[in-house]
Amino acid sequence: MDTVTLLAFTTAYAIAVLVPGPGVAAVVARALGGGFRGAFSMVLGILVGDLLFLAVAVLGLATVATYFAAVFTVVRFAGAAYLLYIAWTFWTAKPGSEQLAPKNEEPWLRTLLAGLSLTLGNPKTIVFYLALLPTVVPLDRITPLAFAEMTVIVIVVLLLIGCGYALLAARARNVFTSEPALRRLNKTAGALMAAAAGVVAFRG
pLDDT in tens, 31-50: 887 788 889 999 999 999 99
Question: According to the model, what pLDDT value does residue 201 have?
Answer: 64
**Banded model confidence at residue 179, pLDDT cuts 50, 70, 90:** low
Please tell me the distance from the alpha carbon of residue 193 to that of residue 128, in angstroms, as a whole number. 22
Burial code (b: 16+ CB inside 10 Å, e: under 16) for 98-125 equals ebeebeeebeeeebbbbbbbbbbbbbbb
pLDDT mean across residues, the chain:
77
Cα-flanking dihedrals φ and ψ of residue 178, to 5°? -90, 160
**Count of domains forming the chain:** 1
CA triple 159-162-167, angle to 5 deg: 110
Q: Is the pLDDT of residue 102 over 50?
A: no
Q: Is the pLDDT of residue 99 over 50?
A: no
Query: What percent of the chain has pLDDT above 70?
Result: 72
Q: Can you give the pTM of this predicted structure? A: 0.71
- Per the structure, the complete domain to which residue 29 belongs is given by 3-202
Least reliable range by pLDDT among 10-14, 66-70, 137-141, 151-155: 66-70
Could you tell me which residue, 16 or 10, shows the higher pLDDT? 10
106 torsion bin: left (phi>0), alpha (psi -120 to 50), beta (else): beta
Please tell me the distance from the alpha carbon of residue 55 to that of residue 50, in angstroms, as a whole number. 9
